[in-house]
Amino acid sequence: MICLNCKKPYIGNHSAFCNECCDKLPMILTDLKIERDKAQAAVARLRELPDTVCIGKYTLSARGKTAIIECVMKQKILKLSEPVHWTISGEGPTAGKGIWIVRLSGCNRNCPHCDQPEKGKIIELPLDEIVKQIPQYDSVMLTGGEPLLQLDMTDVWVFLNNGNDVQIETNGTLPLKAEYPVHGVTLVISPKHTPLMMSGFGTDPRKFLTCLKFLVKDDDLVTPPERDYGIISKAEHILTWLTLFPWMKYCPVYIQPLWELNRCYRQANVRQAIKIVRDLDLKWDSEVRLSVQIHKFIGVP
Ligand code: SF4
């Protein structure tokens, strides 16, 4: 939640103000010139519109009087490429954990190695219908495609308000604007492009718990077009990223061998990934881990 007065984020005290500002409430209400009757009438009008969703109820109280203000926003329809479902997360920081997958349709890249090509069938669902399918306090992965083509931070807050911790899997070409630190959100950037395209990432990603995930292929197997789509075959390629963008210095780095149907190629990619983990371990201070796509090994979608 964002405090109505100081505009800073705060967590769950069931009012529109952070604890600090709550202590100064009568003064704040005077300063803000909140006219509660007008605010409630405006909210009532908004509630009559189709496709609106309540994102929180706020209690305003001062001088012994209390008013409940509902905060509503226009409902957003999201396009998904598969139904929301529970699975075992296979990669990155949540590997091995049970997680709800929200797979958003559409991508701004066209990677030759993509394992989630559009299947043509798109499911359109209002955001609150999606959130209703996810139990409170469970983990959610917002992925795609490229989820940031559709999502903005307001949408992510709807999941946070449901008590979910959220992992966003992005290719790092689009900004997720947030002017404040966001607790409960892990941003996993898996570059599918050259470092030049990273400039689109407008905000400072260190504000999130950010991880980097690089896809690795054996040096003899990788093709020039694949290099333009973020496939890595040497530790030096990753070091280029890490030194070009100083904030990356603080991110855990996951090294993920590209899954191949051919077993020999697959093993070659795993060997290359292990070599990169070893080389980076020697040259880089932050955490470096091997990330195999365990959902593919255990055969779950
Ligand atoms: S960025 Fe990801 S989803 Fe988009 S085409 Fe590339 S691999 Fe597929």
The 10 Å Cβ neighbour count of residue 121 is: 9
Tell me, using a 6 A CB cutoff, whether residue 148 lines ligand 1.
Answer: no
Q: Which of 44, 73, 102 is the last residue of a domain?
A: 73
Q: Does 261 score more than 60 pLDDT?
A: yes
Tell me the pLDDT of the chain averaged across its residues: 80
pTM over 0.85: no
CATH number reported for the structural domain that contains residue 269 in this entry = 3.20.20.70
Q: Which of 35, 53, 73 is the last residue of a domain?
A: 73
According to the model, what pLDDT value does residue 115 have?
A: 84
Q: What is the pLDDT of residues 193-212, one digit of tens each?
A: 877 666 555 555 656 778 89
Q: Does 168 score more than 80 pLDDT?
A: yes
Tell me, using a 6 A CB cutoff, whether residue 105 lines ligand 1.
Answer: no
Q: How far is CA 167 from CA 6, 94, 253, in A?
A: 27, 8, 15
More confident position, 118 or 132 = 132
Number of domains composing the chain = 2
What type of residue is 214? Answer: F
Tell me, using a 6 A CB cutoff, whether residue 116 lines ligand 1.
Answer: yes
**Ligand 1, residues 79, 105, 108, 114: which to mutate, most atoms within 8 A of Cβ?**
114
More confident position, 228 or 60 = 228
For the sheet with 139-143, list strands across it.
85-88, 98-103, 139-143, 165-170, 185-189, 209-216, 253-257, 288-290
CA-CA distance, 66 to 60, in Å (whole number)?
6
Tell me, using a 6 A CB cutoff, whether residue 109 lines ligand 1.
Answer: yes
Determine the atom of ligand 1 nearest the C-alpha atom of 110: 5
Same domain, 140 and 237: yes
According to the model, what pLDDT value does residue 253 have?
A: 94
According to the model, what pLDDT value does residue 44 have?
A: 59
Determine the atom of ligand 1 nearest the C-alpha atom of 171: 1
Please give the residue range of the domain that contains residue 60. Answer: 19-73
Q: Are 128 and 53 in contact (CB under 8 A)?
A: yes
According to the model, what pLDDT value does residue 108 have?
A: 92
The rounded percent of the chain whose pLDDT value lies above 70 is: 72
Same domain, 47 and 117: no
* Position 9 in a domain: no
Q: Which of 26-35, 176-185, 247-256 has the lowest mean pLDDT?
A: 26-35
* Position 259 in a domain: yes
* Position 8 in a domain: no
Query: Which residues lie closer than 8 Å to 237 by C-beta, 6 or more apart?
Result: 214
According to the model, what pLDDT value does residue 30 have?
A: 47
Tell me, using a 6 A CB cutoff, whether residue 291 lines ligand 1.
Answer: no
